[in-house]
């Protein structure tokens, strides 16, 4: 199963085409829209989020509410397009209209502008920034919502929350069910379980904004219900934890990934890292702890998956950083019209989608994924096989 996306940030629309989704899955626009709305929320976002009201349209692969097994096409319109039809027009410009182009020649440090220009030979850096923009994560979240719909049918739940913003670290969330974690997180403007930290995070965002600066943070994704043995140890490109790490790293501004205890493992002995194995009739094999975050040898252990990603501070700053105009080669300090000052809460929804996608794709590829019914049966059998093994 795979998907591709197309579309520019201020172009007419974003598109995703999903290939390989099983037939027989109930899919509604409402379901996907709920996740699009979650991605738009979050304290610290800029004015663009007030313009957009992201809604998906399913334009292929679904009939009377069910997937057909054919490619599923999803589109989301950019409302801002109406303000950008001249600058982002598809048709060639007449000679006398060339001033409409309003070339971008001033690359922002930390964004794709300069290097993307060098790579594709664009001397108008708008040609780079329009596609490198995290606006594209809208349709990644739409594809992730489809993946989550499939996972739900297989008894697998995915949640995400914010652990850290601008150096404010939340306590490890204390919840008995993922539902409880989700309910609390959805109410929080920064998608944080810990109310004390939530307040401090919002203050840190206010402070960054006031200083014309930006801040990053850490998000965590938790998955329950995966059967054991998904992924493989036999080849580097079949290790599922590696695929998840790549999916998280592919989110704009993400710079690191860890599973379970993560980088902390460098500081503690093996006896306090590895998860001891136990067996019971009811649960089959399980672990007293889950410090490895649900993976051994690139395969799911059947324990919850716990993966974190770190997002750097947003590169577009109101407080100017030095850069060089590519036409004049003169130094300049940027002036900015609008930007997010912190997008970590939104990014946690994107991370959730990225992880959900990799898990759904791995299940469809490993088991019989043509029809929903056979996939449900195969996953059930895998759980049972793992229990009695
Ligand atoms: C949800 C989200 C919103 C973002 N908003 C902005 C923004 O408003 N301004 C900005 O400069 N970067 C923003 N970014 C980050 C840039 O897209 C990213 O830094 C850029 O594409 C360069 O990629 P890299 O940081 O991975 O190297 C955002 C990222 C995410 C995930
Ligand atoms: C549009 C979104 O995020 C955008 C991501 C982004 C960037 O450079 O990554 C820059 C900003 O774009 P604009 O200048 O149009 O406001 C953000 O608003 C979105 O998340 O839907």
Domains of the chain: 2-388 (3.60.150.10)
For the stretch 234-284, pLDDT in tens is: 999 999 999 999 999 999 999 999 999 999 999 999 999 999 999 999 999
Query: Structure tokens of 199?
Result: 């307040």
Q: Find all residues with CB under 8 Å of 310, minimum gap 6, and list them.
A: 216, 217, 218, 254, 255, 256, 257
Nearest ligand 1 atom to alpha carbon 339: 8
Measure the CA–CA gap between 56 and 10, rounded to whole angstroms.
17
Average pLDDT over residues 295-316: 97
Nearest ligand 1 atom to alpha carbon 254: 26
pLDDT attached to residue 100: 65
Cβ of 48 below 6 Å from ligand 2:
yes
Q: Find all residues with CB under 8 Å of 203, minimum gap 6, and list them.
A: none
Measure the CA–CA gap between 380 and 155, rounded to whole angstroms.
9
- Binding-site residue set for NADP(+): 39, 45
**Would you mind telling me the total number of residues written for the chain in this entry?**
389
Residue 6 has pLDDT above 70, yes or no: yes
Q: Which ligand is nearest to the CA of 136?
A: 2
Cβ of 9 below 6 Å from ligand 2:
yes
Measure the CA–CA gap between 68 and 278, rounded to whole angstroms.
42
Average pLDDT over residues 211-229: 97
Percent of the chain residues past pLDDT 90, beyond the cut: 91
170 Cα–ligand 1 center, Å:
23
Cβ of 58 below 6 Å from ligand 1:
no
Q: Can you give the three-state secondary structure of 170-216, one letter per residue?
A: CCCCCCCCHHHHHHHHHHCCCCCCCHHHHHHHHHHHHHHHHCCCCCC
133 Cα–ligand 2 center, Å:
6
Percent of the chain residues past pLDDT 70, beyond the cut: 97
Nearest ligand 1 atom to alpha carbon 315: 11
Measure the CA–CA gap between 247 and 355, rounded to whole angstroms.
7
pLDDT attached to residue 94: 77
- Binding-site residue set: 39, 45, 131-133, 252-253, 297, 312-316, 338
Per-residue b or e along 5-29, where b marks 16 or more CB atoms closer than 10 Å to that residue's CB: bebbbbbbebbbbbebbbbbbebeb
pLDDT attached to residue 284: 94
Measure the CA–CA gap between 302 and 226, rounded to whole angstroms.
5
What are the DSSP calls for 294-363, one per residue?
Answer: TEETTEE-SSPEEEEEEEPPPS--SS--EEE-TTT--EEE---S---S--HHHHHHHHHHHHHHHHHHHH
pTM value is: 0.97
């Amino acid at each position: 199963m795979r998907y591709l996306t197309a579309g520019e940030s201020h172009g007419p629309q974003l598109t995703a085409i999903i290939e390989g989704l099983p037939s027989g899955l109930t899919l509604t626009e409402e379901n996907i829209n709920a996740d699009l709305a979650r991605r738009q929320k979050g304290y610290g976002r800029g004015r663009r989020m007030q313009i957009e009201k992201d809604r998906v349209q399913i334009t292929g692969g679904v009939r009377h509410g069910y997937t057909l097994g054919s490619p599923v096409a999803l589109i989301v319109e950019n409302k801002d397009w109406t303000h950008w039809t001249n600058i982002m027009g598809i048709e060639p410009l007449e000679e006398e209209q060339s001033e409409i182009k309003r070339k971008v020649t001033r690359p922002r440090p930390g964004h794709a502008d300069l290097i993307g220009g060098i790579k594709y030979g664009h001397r108008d850096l708008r040609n780079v920034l329009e596609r490198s923009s995290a606006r594209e994560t809208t349709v990644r979240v739409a594809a992730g919502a489809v993946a989550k719909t499939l996972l739900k049918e297989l008894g697998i739940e995915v949640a995400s929350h914010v652990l850290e913003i601008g150096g404010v670290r939340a306590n490890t969330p204390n919840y008995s069910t993922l539902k409880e974690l989700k309910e609390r997180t959805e109410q929080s403007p920064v998608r944080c379980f810990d109310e004390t930290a939530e307040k401090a995070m919002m203050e840190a965002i206010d402070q960054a904004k006031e200083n014309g600066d930006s801040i990053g943070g850490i998000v965590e994704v938790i998955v329950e219900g995966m059967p054991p043995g998904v992924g493989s140890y036999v080849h580097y490109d079949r290790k599922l934890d590696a695929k998840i790490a790549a999916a998280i790293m592919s989110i704009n501004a993400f710079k690191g990934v860890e599973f379970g205890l993560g980088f902390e493992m460098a500081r503690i002995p093996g006896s306090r890292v590895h998860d001891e194995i136990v067996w019971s009739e009811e649960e089959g094999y399980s672990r007293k702890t889950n410090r490895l975050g649900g993976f051994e040898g690139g395969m799911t252990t059947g324990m919850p998956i716990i993966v974190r990603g770190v997002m750097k501070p947003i590169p577009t700053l109101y407080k100017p950083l030095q850069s060089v105009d590519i036409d004049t080669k003169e130094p300049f300090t940027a002036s900015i019209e609008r930007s997010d000052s912190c997008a970590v809460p939104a990014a946690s929804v994107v991370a959730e989608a990225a992880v959900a996608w990799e898990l759904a794709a791995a299940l469809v590829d490993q088991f019989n994924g043509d029809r929903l019914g056979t996939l449900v049966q195969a996953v059930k059998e895998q759980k049972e096989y793992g229990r009695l093994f």
